[in-house]
Structure 1
């Protein structure tokens, strides 16, 4: 494994998924050492192999985001092996689809644990470490579903709204410590998440019809915006939510 990158380390949660993998690869190319965190061990190893091919220092962090102690331990492990934590990307999420009146409390609480509580705990642990060296960036991945609502996804949509609220609160409080906090809200990217739709092709045509840019977005295009938000070019940007959605939502 290569020595820690000069820009420090970054932890990407949900790094085995399509968006998390693209973000990991882009930040690795930007000069960060990358902690790839998530529950799916095989998918994390696939991301790690791609990072290795790029010559990027990395660490596989198999963590269940329902486990608060494991989240903190992963951040400690990252700094021990990859250097000071420079950025955190809260990306992991689960999205069970079910009509609101049929959602059991246990399922809702599970979505909150992964999509909301884990974001809070990871950000808290990261900020404590970043504050010690007076700089850092946190990016929370939201969703355009928060802006317009979405049928059969009440649990998911509500937690993505919480991610935006957390972003604004932390930007206000952590700014004096040199820590910037922003969010990105992806549109309908062609990922595994589309499996919840009965007719993916019909869904894709609906997406393109609603966007101003008449094509599907790519994972790399979302990763490029995350790269901007953790980089020096956004040094005066905090508390913002950027929709990366081809012009679907404009409010």
Structure 2
């Protein structure tokens, strides 16, 4: 098992990409703190891990809260004695014409997608530095480098996460904390489905992906395990695009 004896936190783990990563980490031997704003979905994922003889606890938390970010780290330390991996996956998204985008919508999206990544990453890094090191995995997006007129705020947040990842890697590398990012393209998740207004919209997305299909959440797990494991011990400051070749057509 590639993550045996490691302890990880996964935010936004109640469904979609976060759920797949939490389950994948547990299958590779990690103990997992399953975090989601929705207590019910977080509890269900943690229960599924324990049912498969894994170790997991669920915690409802708002990543945009510094208090909740610290509570996540404290829970990992109290329940499992250490923290090795932090996956900053929690995010929100919606389509909105730029001229109609409100300040409140902008602020909430930035609070979750960017501020949440900063707060949870910082809290995790402090614990990792004290214990000798660790790995932080931020979830960015192919939208960090490809603009969409109806998702300006989302693309801006994910572009900022990509650069935050680079900066964190430089700041934390000397203290043996690695920081990398995953950047998926179109993933078949409930959040993404809510933004597809028709079957033709899905077909248009697929047409821009050389592999000819939307990603499934499980398609992100291999890269997420790699970045959490000792196999990536000399990898930091990198963004891995798990996009089915989407950027090759950009």
Q: TM-score range, shorter-chain basis?
A: over 0.9
Q: 2:202 & 2:53 partners in 1: Cα distance?
A: 35
What residue ranges of structure 2 are gaps of 5+ in the alignment?
A: none
1:223 alignment partner in structure 2? 221
**Given the alignment of the two structures, is residue 198 of structure 1 paired with residue 197 of structure 2, yes or no?**
yes
Give 1:151 shift.
Answer: 2.3
Q: Is the 8 A contact 2:109 2:154 kept in 1?
A: yes
1:57–1:82 CA contact under 8 A, matched in 2: no
Aligned to 2:11, which of 10, 13, 19?
A: 13
Name the counterpart of 2:144.
146
Which residue of the partner structure matches residue 235 of structure 1? 233
1:9 Cα deviation after fit: 1.2
- 1: CA distance between counterparts of 2:234 and 2:151? 34
Matched-pair contact (CA < 8 Å) for 2:43–2:59: no
- Alignment map for 1:178-197 (pairs within 5 Å): 178-192=176-190, 193-197=192-196
Cα contact 2:182–2:224 (8 A) shared by 1: yes
**2:244 paired residue number:** 246
Out of 163, 167, 170, the residue aligned to residue 169 of structure 1 is 167
Q: Report the counterpart of residue 129 of structure 1 in structure 2.
A: 127
- TM-superposed CA distance for 1:218, in Å, is 2.0
Partner Cα separation in structure 2 for residue 72 and residue 119 of structure 1:
12
In structure 2, distance between residues paired with 1:202 and 1:243: 25
Whole-Å separation in 1 of the counterparts to 2:135 and 2:53: 23
- Displacement, 1:6? 5.0
Contact 2:85 2:135 in 1 (8 A): yes
The TM-score with structure 2 as length reference comes to 0.94
Number of equivalenced pairs = 246
Moved more, 142-151 or 177-186: 142-151
Query: Which residues of structure 1 form unaligned runs of 5+?
Result: none
Distance 1:162 1:237 in 2: 20
Residue aligning to 2:41:
43
SS at match of 1:166: helix
Q: Structure 1 residue 130: deviation in Å?
A: 0.3
Match of 1:99 among 71, 74, 97: 97
Runs of 4+ with >3 A deviation = none
Give yes or no for the alignment of 1:75 onto 2:69.
no
Determine if contact 1:58/1:82 at 8 Å carries over to the other structure: no
Shift of 1:83: 2.3
How far apart, in 2, do the equivalents of 1:54 and 1:150 lie? Answer: 41
SS in 1 for 2:150: coil
SS of 1:148's equivalent in the other structure is coil
1:102-158 deviation per Cα after TM superposition (whole angstroms, max 9, x unaligned): 111111111111111110010100000000121100000011112111122111111
Q: Which deviates more from structure 2 when the two are superposed, residues 47-56 or residues 89-98?
A: 47-56
Instruction: For 2:65 and 2:131, locate their aligned partners in 1 and report how far apart those are by CA, in whole Å.
Output: 26
Query: Secondary structure at 2:214's aligned position in 1?
Result: coil
TM-score by length of 1: 0.94
